[in-house]
C-alpha cells in the first residue's frame, strides 16, 4: 500500500503535467502554429516530454498537427469546448431579463435549464423569483431528472433519437405517484410536447409542485435550453395552466429571438 510520502510526489508530478499542458495550449493560442522544438524550449523541458504532452492533447482533439509543416495548432476540440461555454453564457445573459419579467408577471419562480445527458438530468443555470413565490430555494446548479420535470421533457422532446434512447435505457425513477416511469408512456408524452410547444408536470417531481416549460432555440433553430415556471399546485391549478403555458411559450420565443432565432 502506497504511503502518503509516495503519493505526494506523484500528485505533484500530475499537477506539473497539467500546468505544462495548459501552457502548451496558451503558446498555440498566442503563436498560431509552433513546432515541438520551440514548445520544448519555451517550457524548459526535453523534446521527448513536449512530444508526450502534444500526443495526449492531440488524442483529445485539443491540438492538431499540420502534416506538411510538422507544426502544431489548436484543434477542433478547443472550439467545441469554447462553443459549449459560450452557448451557456449567452443563454444565461440573454434570458435573464425575460426571466425576471415573467417571474414578476406570474409571481412564481422561473428557471432556465440545459441538459446534462450523462446524468440524464436538466441543469438549472439561472433563476428569477416572483413576489408570490413561497420558497426561497435556489435551483441554480441543481440537477433534476429529465423525465420528471417540465424542462427535462422539453429537452428530451428535442433530443436526437440516439440521445433519447440513452436516457430511456435507464430505469425511470418514480418520485411521486404521478411520475411517469413507463418508457412507452413517456415517449407518447414527448411527441405531444414537441407538437404543442410546451411541457407540463403536475406533481411529478414533488407533491404540491406544478410546472410548465417551453423551448429556447439557438440561431440555428436547435433547442439548447428550456425556460420554466414552477409554483405550488394550489396556485398553478389545472385551470390556470393553459394561460400560463401561453406566457411561458412567449417567453421562450423571446429568448430564442435574442439568441438569433427568427
- Look up the pTM and report it: 0.68
Domains and CATH numbers, the chain: 11-86 (1.10.10.10), 89-259 (3.30.450.40)
3-state secondary structure of 220: coil
148: left (phi over 0), alpha (psi -120 to 50) or beta: alpha
Cα(215)–Cα(229) distance, rounded to whole angstroms? 12
- pLDDT (tens digit per residue) in 216-259: 998 889 999 999 999 999 999 989 999 999 999 999 999 999 88
pLDDT digits (tens, 9 = 90+) for 56-107: 998 888 888 876 557 888 886 775 666 555 566 588 888 999 999 999 999 9
- Nearest-angstrom CA–CA distance, 163 and 244: 29
Amino acid at each position: 500500500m502506497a504511503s502518503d510520502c509516495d503519493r505526494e510526489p506523484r500528485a505533484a508530478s500530475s499537477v506539473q503535467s497539467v500546468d505544462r499542458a495548459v501552457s502548451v495550449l496558451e503558446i498555440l493560442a498566442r503563436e498560431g502554429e509552433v513546432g515541438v522544438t520551440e514548445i520544448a524550449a519555451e517550457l524548459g523541458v526535453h523534446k521527448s516530454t513536449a512530444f508526450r504532452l502534444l500526443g495526449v492533447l492531440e488524442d483529445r482533439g485539443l491540438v492538431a498537427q499540420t502534416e506538411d509543416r510538422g507544426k502544431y495548432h489548436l484543434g477542433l476540440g478547443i472550439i467545441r469546448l469554447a462553443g459549449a461555454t459560450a452557448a451557456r453564457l449567452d443563454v444565461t445573459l440573454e434570458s435573464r431579463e425575460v426571466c425576471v419579467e415573467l417571474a414578476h408577471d406570474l409571481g412564481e419562480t422561473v428557471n432556465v435549464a440545459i441538459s446534462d445527458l450523462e446524468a440524464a438530468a436538466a441543469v438549472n443555470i439561472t433563476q428569477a423569483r416572483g413576489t408570490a413565490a413561497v420558497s426561497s430555494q435556489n435551483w441554480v446548479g441543481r440537477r433534476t431528472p429529465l423525465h420528471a420535470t417540465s424542462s427535462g421533457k422539453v429537452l428530451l422532446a428535442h433530443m436526437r433519437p440516439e440521445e433519447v434512447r440513452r436516457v430511456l435505457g435507464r430505469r425511470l425513477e418514480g418520485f411521486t405517484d404521478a411520475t411517469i416511469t413507463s418508457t412507452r408512456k413517456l415517449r407518447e408524452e414527448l411527441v405531444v410536447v414537441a407538437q404543442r410547444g410546451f411541457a407540463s408536470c403536475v406533481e411529478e417531481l414533488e407533491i404540491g409542485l406544478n410546472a410548465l416549460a417551453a423551448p429556447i432555440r439557438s440561431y440555428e433553430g436547435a433547442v439548447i435550453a428550456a425556460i420554466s415556471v414552477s409554483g405550488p399546485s394550489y396556485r398553478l391549478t389545472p385551470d390556470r395552466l393553459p394561460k400560463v403555458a401561453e406566457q411561458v411559450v412567449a417567453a421562450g420565443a423571446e429568448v430564442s429571438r435574442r439568441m438569433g432565432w427568427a
